A and B are shown apart, each in its own frame.
Chain A
Amino acid sequence: MPTFDLSSTPLRDLNSALHTLSKGANDTAFDVVNPRGAHAVAVGIDAPVTVEVRGSVGYYCAGMNDGGIVTVHGSAGPGVAENMMSGTVVIEGDASQYAGATGQGGLLVIKGNAASRCGISMKGIDIVVHGNIGHMSAFMGQSGHLVVLGDAGDALGDSLYEAKLFVRGTVKSLGTDCIEKPMRPEHLETLRGLLDRAGVTDATPQEFRRYGSARTLYTFNIDNADAY
């Protein structure tokens, strides 16, 4: 198993090794120790590798991940798994702002809390947060799912498109054009699948409420100007 000690090895060596794996390589399990809050750890992965990061990371860990399985045994700074295409990213601790921003696919699991703008502009990613999320989460969310086992902050789902939001706890306030919607059987089934994929065993889909777009802002109308 290749091990990269970021206290003595440049970040470039790690990311370069992740990008140059030959097809069918056997050594696809990477260990990263002493990340010490480094930015851009394990970014641009485009192969089915496994990366275990032993500590906390800075900005953009696993950015644009496409197929990798990255686990951070600590907390993550802003923009973790931003623009993820596919694969899985698990944060054992908390995540800072913009977790999963603009993600187009894959699964992001945050076992602690996520700060503001979690899932901002999400485009297909699935995000499961065991704890709470901050304000303006899922802002302009286009598609994908955001599942929150705890509470959501202010302005959840502001200017939402077609992303689907599920919250088990309280929602401090909904953003513009975001409304609560009935939880139908197909939503319970989708949620069950998401909880299973994220390894959640202490929650049932029936405990959640569903939120989505009212779709009143989809076509510009001057009489909606007060909403902006």
Chain B
Amino acid sequence: MSYHNPYTPPRKSATFDDATLAEIRRAAATGIYDIRGAGTKRKLPHFDDLLFLGASISRYPLEGYREKCDTSVVLGTRFAKKPIRLKTPITIAGMSFGALSGNAKEALGRGATIAGTSTTTGDGGMTDEERGHSEMLVYQYLPSRYGMNPRDLRRADAIEIVIGQGAKPGGGGMLLGQKISDRVAQMRNLPKGIDQRSACRHPDWTGPDDLEIKILELREITDWEKPIYVKVGGSRPYYDTALAVKAGADVVVLDGMQGGTAATQDVFIENVGMPILACIRPAVQALQDLGLHRSVQLIVSGGIRSGADVAKALALGADAVAIGTAALVALGDNDPKWEDEYQKLGTTAGAYDDWHEGKDPAGITTQDPELAARLDPVAAGRRLANYLKVMTLEAQTIARACGKNHLHNLEPEDLCALTMEAAAMAQIPLAGTSWYPGKGGF
């Protein structure tokens, strides 16, 4: 007996999907792991999985545009003589001159200053341009200590000791030779054109007890004026927060795995660290257990895109947020207007992540003078300021709808979760219930 097989569409493996197959072929062809910029591209439980409940009979809302909803935040109130006062709780995360062009750094400073918030240096030191264009500038103290000097420490508005970042908790960095221009080489005291490794550990301390002494040294050098932040990747947020506080931090910066990087291994970006949604409640719990919630401020980052994300992060207990990738997009990163050039680089607008190669058509993640000149720092700064203001307005809109006259008055109680995962990670009841996984022993 014979039969005719009807047509069945070819079925691709979910395990060996196109991206996986392509990566196997790429690895086999090159013999080197994939290095790229930006953050994780995998789908993760995120703020999208939370919703606000809004006002109801038991909670009355505030009138939009007429009843004030304060957005200000003060960072560094614990020990610093000169805390930082921001008009909006949305700050700009650390990104280096080297990874970014001078124009991009200037644009970040201009945009943040218009919006009344701070920018942050990165691995490679502080440039006069970013100091000049940033009313409030946080100076990162990194393991590499590239460009570190006491003069810049003193002219910073705050100091951020970087222990880790969300894209690669436990990893160092690598600025490839293509981006080592004369100026970058000079700032880092290394030969031009070589790959520059950034260490993963600080050279002169290990562990929380040493960190306490390091913070003492930095405070003494800067006469106890500057707020001192401690930045960690989303790894063990309860204990990292507690240890940072014990070591004397004024502010804890917690970066989830959605946070971007200038360059690291794709395997690192996609497989190490926790999503920010899972990090905030344990960090807040640590602060509350120590009786220091709101006294030591918590800045969270990693995948913040909108005022809704800001409001949700604050409702979970953060004092402020930081944005990196979103700020670059506001400047012009991955803009479809450069599509022809993205195609020539073998990619497309929205997917371009070879930031380490220095060929960015948008002129942001490059040291090529011709490409960098494409970014007008004044116009790009204005775009960033607009974006920051929109996010702030969005967060206010939600807060008013929840009856809050300050963004910090948002509470976990204002939220519900759409998925079991989000409910468990954020310790927010599943929508329509009063329960989340783990609550009551279940």
Contacts and interface: CB of A to CB of B under 8 A. Distances in A.
Interface of A: 11-12, 15-16, 19, 39-40, 43-44, 46, 58-60, 63-64, 66, 78-79, 82-83, 85, 97-98, 101-102, 104, 117, 120-121, 123-124, 139-140, 142-143, 159, 161-162, 218-220, 222-223
A161 B150 contact: no
A83 B213 CA distance: 15
Given A83-B145, A123-B145, A143-B189, A102 B203 contact: yes
Nearest to A144: B189
B345 interface: no
Given A46-B150, A66-B150, 12 more contacts: A59-B213, A60-B213, A63-B217, A78-B210, A85-B149, A98-B205, A102-B204, A121-B199, A121-B203, A140-B197, A218-B191, A219-B194
A12 B220 contact: yes
Task: Give the interface size bracket for B toward A.
Answer: 20 to 34
A142 B220 CA distance: 27
Interface in B127-168: 144-145, 148-151, 153
Contact of B145 (A78, A121, A162): A121
A120 B177 CA distance: 22
Contact of B217 (A59, A117, A218, A219): A59
Q: Is the interface of B mostly helix, strand, loop or mixed?
A: loop
Contacts of A66: 149-151
Given A101-B203, A219-B195, A161 B190 contact: yes
A223 B224 CA distance: 49
A162 to B, nearest CB: 7
Contacts of B204: 60, 78-79, 82, 97-98, 101-102, 120
B329 interface: no
B205 A79 contact: yes
Contacts of B213: 39-40, 58-60
Q: Which 8 A-B pairs have the closest CB atoms?
A: A44-B221, A79-B204, A218-B194, A98-B204, A102-B145, A101-B204, A64-B150, A40-B217
Contacts of B144: 121
Interface in B179-218: 188-191, 194-195, 197, 199, 203-205, 210, 213-214, 216-217
Interface in B32-66: 32
Contact of A59 (B153, B174, B210): B210
Nearest to A121: B203
B150 A44 contact: yes
Residue in A39, A40, A78, A159 whose Cβ sees the most chain B Cβ within 10 Å: A40
A4 B151 CA distance: 25
Q: Is the interface of A mostly helix, strand, loop or mixed?
A: loop
Given A12-B220, A59-B217, A220 B149 contact: no
A222 B191 CA distance: 21
A43 B154 CA distance: 13
Nearest to B198: A140
Given A60-B217, A161-B191, A117 B223 contact: no
Interface in B216-271: 216-217, 220-224
Contacts of A46: 150-151
Contact of A120 (B148, B203, B224): B203
Interface string B65-90: 00000000000000000000000000
A91 B32 CA distance: 46
Contacts of A120: 203-204
20 contacts: A15-B220, A40-B216, A43-B221, A64-B221, A66-B151, A79-B204, A83-B149, A83-B150, A85-B149, A101-B203, A101-B204, A104-B189, A120-B203, A121-B145, A140-B199, A140-B203, A142-B190, A143-B189, A162-B191, A220-B176
B31 interface: yes
A62 to B, nearest CB: 10
B199 A43 contact: no
Nearest to A82: B204
